[in-house]
Amino acid sequence: MKTKVFYLLLYVGTLLTACSSSEDGSESRPPFKLESITVGEAANQANFTDVPLDASIELQFSDEVDESTIKANILLTTDGTDVEYTYTLPSPEKISISPSEKLKNFTTYKLVVNPGIKSVSGALLESGQTCTLQTSIDNSDKFERIPLEELLTLVQKQTFDYFWKFGHEHSGMARERSTSGNTVTTGGTGFGIMAMLVAAERGFVSRTEALQRVQRIVTFLDEECENYHGAFSHWINGETGDTQPFSPADNGADLVETSFLFEGLLTARAYFDGADAGETKLREDITRLWEAVEWTWFQKDGEQVLYWHWSPNYGWTQNLPIRGWNECLITYVLAASSPTYPISREVYEQGWAKGGNIQNGNSYYGITLPLGSEKGGPLFFTHYSFLGLCPEGLQDQYADYWEQNRNHTLINYNHCVENPNGYAGYSSSCWGLTASDGDDGYSAWSPTNDHGVIAPTAALSAFPYTPEESTAALEFFYYKLGDKLWKEYGFVDAFNLGKDWYDNQYLAIDQGPIIVMIENYRSQLLWDLFMNIPDIQTGLKNLGFTSPYLK
């Protein structure tokens, strides 16, 4: 029995000795393992989220790494495309990876470690590993923090330079966009004139300088530009005064753009109320232009609605009646306020209000929308007419316009917070859908036409309606994205974080409302001027409006 035990022990010992050596007689190696993956401050996750754009990527192995096997077996990709990287070996067992180009915002990357990687002793990696890296943005402040009031003033002042420094050299009017050359815009000029009043009031320019610039614009309109029954075209050559067609059959009057122009001109007439010759002349010139607009002509042979376009060559070919709810309430208010060619209340009720069919009444995100289309449409509906029209306490038989504009804005905000389409970057501090440039071209972005494009003008021009939400957006745009968005004339027109796209353009109709609506939030300057104009008060009363301003 003892003999059997002895031979059994001898056999097991021999077997263990054999197993401790490889086929070539060398000692067996311990497994070669990937012990950890660290991305930034996080480690060993299948899905790394909120990865900083400059995050370090480190791989810790259990043994020294054969450097010749690294590049073929460690891959970094996005959307199936390899991302070039460099690496270092801080220690023989550790690889530090650095992408050759900075990671992109809100992008998913895949890190693959294949089992073909070896140790210096020739052992293959025990098993490969794959993980994803989802980036966020560079969340550091790009500018020093300053008090909110100082930031609001900075935004107004630098945005104003679009109209002042970049205004057309001859006409003084606003260029359509920052690449428009001699093409100036009628409506954007009206917004720019209102911005000049803000600038004079806040000391960005002197009152005399603002007066001179507005007078130059008025003289150009009066003496060098063709008008069509008193209305002006959408685009004008700022050097010659010639009409520049907006489209093939739109080479004449644009009544809505003319309305935006006179919203600004009438406000300027109210602001420059001095008895001196310069301010008196400006008021007289604006009054003459104002009284020349034949609003009733645009009823197209007496129809109970106003029409947007008329051409001396194509007549009413555009055939676009102005019906609500959109940005054109100001057109009907001005038409009813005209001392020479006023429309009747019936034109407003049957044309603009569509016999009451302007109303909505549905609830979105628990918020009732009194007027308009599903979820309200783009936010410029709440801006353009209300640069001068004060919605606080403004009511007619169809809506309370403060409720309308605030609720429309909150619906837009809540859509971005909910982010049903999953667009990168949307949040309570990154919101605002309106008409603007986009990475695929210009469009009227809205909750029902959402392609991931945010325009700073949307949230910033909403300051009177949503001051807390707009403040969060302003601080995000300036402090967090300022290196991408904040340029010579304020914030660029739009951006799409998911596409890592940032506009390089400015648009007059988007820059102007930022200045004006921030000022209405701060001081109600433009609202007070416009709403106290006697003609406007008469027009609002004739249309059945009530307002604290109406005497």
Reported as a single tens digit per residue, the pLDDT across 105-138 is: 888 899 999 999 999 999 999 999 999 999 988 8
131 shares a domain with 198: no
Any idea of the CA torsion for 532, 534, 538, 540, to the nearest 10 degrees?
A: -20
280 shares a domain with 424: yes
Q: Stretch 415-442: mean pLDDT, rounded?
A: 96
CATH of the domain at 104: 2.60.40.1220
173 shares a domain with 105: no
Whether residue 217 is contained in a domain is answered as: yes
Q: Residue 263: is its pLDDT beyond 90?
A: yes
Whether residue 550 is contained in a domain is answered as: no
Whether residue 142 is contained in a domain is answered as: no
CA distances from 496 to 68, 154, 501 (A): 40, 24, 5
**Cα(227)–Cα(242) distance, integer angstroms:** 10
As a whole number of Å, the end-to-end CA separation of the chain is: 123
pTM of the model: 0.87
389 shares a domain with 437: yes
Structural domain that includes position 89: 29-135
Whether residue 17 is contained in a domain is answered as: no
Whether residue 19 is contained in a domain is answered as: no
CB-based contact 412:376 (threshold 8 Å) = yes
508 shares a domain with 532: yes
199 shares a domain with 52: no
Whether residue 18 is contained in a domain is answered as: no
Q: Residue 24: is its pLDDT beyond 70?
A: no
Which two structure tokens, joined as six digits, stand for 94? 């550790």
192 shares a domain with 127: no
CATH of the domain at 402: 1.50.10.140
131 shares a domain with 152: no
**Cα(110)–Cα(108) distance, integer angstroms:** 7
317 shares a domain with 177: yes
Q: Write down how long the chain is.
A: 551
102 shares a domain with 184: no
Consecutive H or E run containing 184: strand 183-185
Q: Tell which of 100, 135, 170 closes a domain.
A: 135
212 shares a domain with 82: no
**Cα(71)–Cα(81) distance, integer angstroms:** 15
Whether residue 399 is contained in a domain is answered as: yes
| Residue 128 CB-density burial (10 A; 0-12 exposed, 13-18 middle, 19+ buried) | middle
Q: Tell which of 107, 135, 163 closes a domain.
A: 135
Half-sphere exposure for 437 (CA within 13 Å, toward CB):
21
187 shares a domain with 109: no
Whether residue 549 is contained in a domain is answered as: no
Strand order in the sheet with 243-244: 183-185, 235-237, 243-244
Instruction: With cut-offs at 50, 70 and 90, classify the pLDDT of residue 104.
Output: confident
* Digit-coded pLDDT (tens) for 297-341: 999 999 999 999 999 999 999 999 999 899 999 999 999 999 999
Q: What proportion of the chain, given as a percentage, has pLDDT over 90?
A: 89
Count of structural domains within the chain: 2
